[in-house]
């Protein structure tokens, strides 16, 4: 048994009984980790533009450290050069000078305060870096697929030696700051992966050529960092599959050679990853099934003696627990699940899994990074605000009787938060089940069933906080006047409307909700009116059934309410299912044969349609007047206020819940 920094006893916890393989110790080098849980380094953009650590960054990481219940918590990768050639994000922490050590120590101390193992990552972003320069660095002048990146400046041998020196000096600073584990990043198109890959490395010197030449820089880096770290374990993240076959990337066999060479060079643990930012194959979006990449970890285990960890699409504890028990994995890594709920592993341990706020794999966290913005979470309103007292759930100064109208995501989020603060909360919905329009949205294909997890989470939290539900009860003006609550929160969702063009009154014009609920008959030829998420969801729902579907939308851009880092998946599936989309257009008329589409520049296009589906929405102001007439405190949230998306509904609900 190696060095144990903190004592943990999990034996009395229900999660340890249910998932015994997750809560047993593992040795990394000479250090013993009490469990098999790791919060993986995540670029959060919460540090200062000058590279200094901020209160927001410390608060964010401390909460994740609390969540790993004694496990390994790794802060985001630091850039290591004064010229910022390796910097990939405006809010990335720096480690190129001793002046950054106090801030880095704050992060290590914050992790240690939660009795967790503190890790930090060395990360030169290579061909996706140079965020503050006119160029980025790489082994060869191969242009990137993504236009947002800088042109590549080829590194000389002197540049490589300088970069290696910077890795060593940054490691010294991390050790002085008190970190217990050092990790080297060689993934997703960052510098070391650039050298490893036959796609990005076309060199003919000793740092290029075959896979052993392309691994030379990585091997030197591991050897020098390990030499400096001594008993402090050193990990590395490398691709098991680059998913760059279409542009000449590494084969899976070559990737396993890199794993073996990394172990031989001195790595104490291997973090298995898949894909690059430039890969055209999806890796982490919710259309990829849970556990899809476990075969890569199993393959790595067959080639390595050191422990193997992996993060991708392992959002529920049963998957890694089973994989560890079967010898296919050693450590369960988490990025996005702990962005969505920083206390996820703690809740698993305590047996309160139903209270886990589930990640919906939308990748808005990534989209924010690519837009030089601090991280936010689609589903977690507190993300990146952990340090801010205004986001805390505090006891209400005056307890109120609150009527929430609507049991969708906005209403449910508001309900549990308000009830936890001490208010008496009653939730009404005319339906007999919780969920609002998420009931229909979760019936769309390609992983959208995961959206309903928010309702499962809020239901558990609301019931625990004492919320009373009145389902199958339509709120009328008379009911409001009879109950006379102190506060009414209208979370009724949007109104789905039909257009004003001739023919919208026909019987074959139906609502998107009725289609997804199976209440409407749909013909073989379908026109969906509306090119936002509801329209896209129902279009894919029907196209997968073999319907010929056309989308007609007034918005200039298809799916503008969808995070761009996920929209490309929907666009691909629309193309795959042969769905035609007319954007910046409207329906001029619905006829016996179909619809007449009017383009933005006046062209009229006839489209055959047996069924027309309306997915257009507008604010729902019903009940607003009666509440105001009775001088009752009023809040309107979610799509009832302005039709938007699930994230807006959740954030509205939370913010109003902590304000009432």
What integer pLDDT is reported at residue 366 of this predicted model?
86
Distance between CA atoms of residues 262 and 183, nearest Å: 12
pLDDT over threshold 80, residue 362: yes
Q: Name the band, by pLDDT with cuts 50, 70 and 90, for residue 538.
A: very high
Query: Residue 631: CA atoms inside 13 Å, Cβ hemisphere, count?
Result: 0
Q: How many CB atoms lie within 10 A of CB 245?
A: 15
Answer for the pair 538, 613: CB distance below 8 angstroms, yes or no.
Answer: yes
Of 317, 239, 257, the residue nearest 20 (C-alpha): 317
Tens of pLDDT, residues 437-450: 999 999 999 999 99
Give 68's strand partners. none
Whole-Å CA distances, 83 to 97, 281, 479, 509: 12, 33, 66, 61
Q: How many CB atoms lie within 10 A of CB 406?
A: 30
What integer pLDDT is reported at residue 563 of this predicted model?
85
Tell me the domains of the chain and their CATH numbers.
3-350+363-370 (3.20.20.70), 393-494+619-659 (3.40.50.720), 497-616 (3.50.50.60)
Q: Name the band, by pLDDT with cuts 50, 70 and 90, for residue 147.
A: confident
Distance between CA atoms of residues 91 and 45, nearest Å: 4
Q: What single-letter DSSP state applies at residue 414?
A: H
Q: Name the band, by pLDDT with cuts 50, 70 and 90, for residue 645.
A: very high
What integer pLDDT is reported at residue 439 of this predicted model?
97
Of 413, 420, 415, 411, the residue nearest 393 (C-alpha): 420
Answer for the pair 368, 375: CB distance below 8 angstroms, yes or no.
Answer: yes
Q: Name the band, by pLDDT with cuts 50, 70 and 90, for residue 373.
A: confident
Coil/strand/helix, residue 160? helix
What is the SS3 assignment for 520-558?
A: CCCCCEEEEECCCHHHHHHHHHHHCCCCEEEEECCCCCC
Q: Name the band, by pLDDT with cuts 50, 70 and 90, for residue 205.
A: very high
pLDDT over threshold 80, residue 1: no
What integer pLDDT is reported at residue 272 of this predicted model?
98
Q: Name the band, by pLDDT with cuts 50, 70 and 90, for residue 148.
A: confident
Pair type for strands 31-33 and 26-28: antiparallel
Q: What single-letter DSSP state applies at residue 82?
A: T
Distance between CA atoms of residues 235 and 331, nearest Å: 12
Whole-Å CA distances, 604 to 57, 115, 170, 210: 54, 67, 63, 58
Tens of pLDDT, residues 407-463: 999 999 999 999 999 999 999 999 999 999 999 999 999 999 999 999 999 999 999
Residues 6+ apart with CB under 8 A from 510: 520, 522, 611, 612, 613, 614
Tens of pLDDT, residues 470-506: 999 999 999 999 999 999 999 999 999 999 999 999 9
What's the pTM?
Answer: 0.96
What integer pLDDT is reported at residue 520 of this predicted model?
96
What integer pLDDT is reported at residue 215 of this predicted model?
98
Phi and psi angles of residue 110, each rounded to the nearest 5 degrees, phi first: -60, -40
Whole-Å CA distances, 426 to 110, 394, 406, 459, 638: 39, 19, 10, 13, 18
What integer pLDDT is reported at residue 554 of this predicted model?
96
Structure tokens at 638: 């979610």
pLDDT over threshold 90, residue 582: yes
> What mean pLDDT, rounded, does the chain reach?
96
Tens of pLDDT, residues 596-619: 999 999 999 999 999 999 999 999
Give 249's strand partners. none
What Rg do the C-alpha atoms of the chain give, in angstroms? 27
Phi and psi angles of residue 58, each rounded to the nearest 5 degrees, phi first: -65, -45
Phi and psi angles of residue 551, each rounded to the nearest 5 degrees, phi first: -100, 135
Q: What angle do CA 195, 94, 382 make, to 5 degrees?
A: 105
Q: Name the band, by pLDDT with cuts 50, 70 and 90, for residue 372.
A: confident
Coil/strand/helix, residue 458? helix
Answer for the pair 142, 199: CB distance below 8 angstroms, yes or no.
Answer: yes
Mean pLDDT for the stretch of residues 574-589: 97
Answer for the pair 30, 233: CB distance below 8 angstroms, yes or no.
Answer: yes
Distance between CA atoms of residues 48 and 33, nearest Å: 31
Q: What single-letter DSSP state applies at residue 355?
A: G
What integer pLDDT is reported at residue 324 of this predicted model?
98
Whole-Å CA distances, 159 to 23, 137, 272: 44, 9, 28
* H/E element, 487: strand 487-490
- Residue 554 burial by Cβ neighbours in a 10 Å radius (0-12, 13-18, 19+): middle
What integer pLDDT is reported at residue 637 of this predicted model?
98
Whole-Å CA distances, 141 to 37, 89, 127, 170: 39, 22, 10, 27
């Amino acid at each position: 048994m190696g060095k144990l920094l903190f004592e943990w006893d999990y034996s009395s916890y229900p999660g340890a009984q249910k998932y015994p393989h997750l809560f047993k110790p593992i040795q990394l080098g000479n250090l013993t980790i009490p469990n098999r849980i790791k919060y993986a380094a995540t670029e959060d953009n919460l540090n200062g533009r000058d590279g200094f650590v901020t209160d927001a960054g410390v608060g964010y990481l401390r909460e994740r450290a609390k969540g790993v219940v004694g496990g390994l918590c790794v802060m985001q990768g630091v850039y290591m050069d004064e010229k910022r050639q390796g910097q990939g994000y405006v809010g990335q922490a720096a480690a190129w000078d001793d002046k950054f050590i106090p801030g880095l120590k704050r992060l290590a101390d914050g992790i240690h305060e939660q009795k967790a193992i503190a890790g930090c990552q060395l990360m030169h972003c290579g061909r996706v870096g140079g965020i503050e320069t006119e160029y980025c660095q790489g082994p060869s002048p191969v242009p990137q697929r993504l236009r947002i990146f800088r042109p590549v400046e080829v590194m000389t041998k002197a540049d490589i030696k300088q970069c290696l020196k910077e890795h060593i000096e940054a490691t010294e600073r991390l050790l002085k700051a008190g970190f217990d584990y050092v990790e080297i990043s060689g993934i997703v198109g960052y510098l070391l992966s650039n050298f490893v890959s036959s796609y990005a490395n076309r060199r003919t010197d000793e740092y290029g050529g075959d896979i052993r030449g392309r691994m030379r820089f990585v091997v030197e880096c591991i050897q020098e960092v390990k030499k400096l770290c001594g008993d402090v374990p050193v990990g590395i993240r490398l691709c098991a599959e680059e998913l760059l076959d279409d542009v000449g990337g590494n084969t899976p066999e070559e990737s396993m050679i890199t794993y073996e060479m990394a172990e031989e060079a001195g790595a104490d643990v291997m973090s298995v990853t898949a894909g690059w930012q430039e890969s055209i194959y999806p890796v982490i979006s919710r259309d990829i099934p849970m556990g899809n990449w476990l075969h890569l970890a199993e393959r790595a285990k067959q080639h390595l003696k050191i422990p193997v960890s992996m993060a991708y699409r392992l959002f529920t504890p049963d998957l890694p627990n089973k994989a560890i028990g079967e010898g296919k994995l050693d450590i369960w890594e988490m990025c996005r699940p702990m962005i969505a709920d920083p206390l996820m592993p703690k809740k698993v341990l305590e047996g309160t899994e139903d209270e886990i706020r589930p990640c919906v794999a939308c990748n808005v966290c990534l989209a924010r990074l690519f837009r030089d913005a601090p991280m936010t979470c689609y589903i977690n309103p507190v993300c990146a605000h952990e340090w801010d007292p205004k986001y805390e759930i505090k006891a209400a100064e005056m307890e109120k009787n609150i009527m929430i109208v609507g049991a969708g995501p906005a209403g449910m989020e508001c309900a549990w938060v308000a009830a936890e603060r001490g208010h008496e909360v009653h939730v009404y919905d005319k339906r007999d089940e919780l969920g609002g329009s998420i009931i229909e949205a979760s019936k769309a294909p390609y992983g959208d069933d995961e959206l309903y997890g928010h309702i499962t989470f809020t239901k558990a939290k609301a019931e625990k906080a004492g919320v009373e539900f009145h389902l199958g009860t339509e709120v009328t003006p008379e009911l409001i006047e009879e109950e006379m609550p102190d506060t009414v929160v209208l979370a009724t969702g949007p109104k789905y409307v039909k257009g004003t063009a001739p023919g919208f009154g026909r019987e074959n014009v139906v609502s998107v909700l009725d289609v997804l609920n199976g209440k409407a008959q749909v013909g073989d030829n379908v026109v969906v009116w509306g090119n936002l998420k509801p329209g896209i969801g129902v279009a894919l729902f029907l196209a997968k059934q073999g319907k010929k579907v056309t989308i007609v939308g007034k918005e200039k851009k298809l799916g503008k309410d969808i995070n761009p880092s996920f929209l490309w998946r929907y666009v691909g599936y629309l193309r795959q299912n042969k769905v035609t989309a007319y954007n910046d257009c409207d329906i001029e008329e619905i006829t016996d044969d179909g619809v007449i589409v009017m383009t933005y520049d006046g062209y009229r296009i006839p489209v055959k349609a047996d069924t027309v589906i309306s997915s257009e929405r507008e604010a729902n102001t019903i009940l607003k007047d009666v509440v105001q007439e009775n001088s009752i405190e009023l809040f309107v949230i979610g799509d009832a206020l302005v039709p938007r998306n699930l994230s807006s509904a959740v954030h509205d609900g939370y913010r109003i819940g902590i304000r009432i």
